[in-house]
Amino acid sequence: MTGAFAWIGRLAEWIGQWIPQVKHLECTDIAVTITRGSVVRVRSPGLVVLWPFWTSYYCRPGNIQTCIPPTKTLTTADGRTVVAGVMVRYEFDRSEESVVRALIETDSVEDSLADEVCAVLCALITSKTFSELMEDRTAINRSLTGRISTQLSQYGVRVLRAQLADLGQCINLNHTGGRPGVNYEEDEE
């Protein structure tokens, strides 16, 4: 019975594409519309009226946010194994070019930011000795902020602050091989 009436739902959906929609864009968000598949328009806070059959609407929070990627096990320049983590506080730049970078040119901004932050963290930790990392944390944090800011600007992001959140010596244990549920011992007969 439900399959027989599925066409009614599809018909209602098709008719709904021809009725204008009103979206309310908050001042905390950034948004764009794409009309006819290629005309990109950055939207300002307020009401946005669009025709769903030929306009797509993309919106995300643009206010201050924090990125804390997973900690990484790295080796310092003097050969010590350390675990290191970083915290980055950022916001999205409101310029048209930056909004387009964040919403159109990047598929998953959060994943891209985490990847870039991890790359900068790895480069910094592996280029310094453990004592250099421990001596002047303020200088390390300033260096991190500058390097991460440079990397994240390509995504329309303005870095407000970056700092080492975790740093300590560790022993790295990696478990390789085997799969859960598979018994590799030979059966005795």
Domain ranges of the chain: 15-61, 65-169
The phi and psi torsions of 73 (rounded to 5 degrees) equal: -95, 120
pLDDT of residue 104: 94
Over residues 112-126, mean pLDDT:
95
- Residue pLDDT, tens place only, 131-187: 999 998 999 999 999 999 999 999 999 999 999 999 999 988 877 766 666 665 655
Confidence of residue 119 (pLDDT cuts 50, 70, 90): very high
pLDDT of residue 172: 82
- Residue pLDDT, tens place only, 26-85: 999 999 999 988 999 999 999 999 988 889 999 999 999 999 999 999 999 999 999 999
Place of tokens 């995504």: 155
pLDDT of residue 184: 58
pLDDT of residue 14: 84
Q: What are 103's two structure tokens?
A: 């919403």
Identify which of 144, 147, 149 has the alpha carbon closest to the alpha carbon of residue 86.
Answer: 144
Angle (CA) 90 91 95, round 5°: 140
Using N-to-C axis directions, what is the helix angle for 109-127 and 137-152, rounded to 10°?
140
Q: Which residue has the higher pLDDT, 184 or 96?
A: 96
Kindly tell me if the per-residue pLDDT of 101 is higher than 60: yes
Q: For residues 33 and 41, what is the distance between their CA atoms, to the nearest angstrom?
A: 5
- Residue pLDDT, tens place only, 124-142: 999 999 999 999 899 999 9
Query: What CATH architecture is 65-169?
Result: 2-Layer Sandwich (3.30)
Confidence of residue 2 (pLDDT cuts 50, 70, 90): low
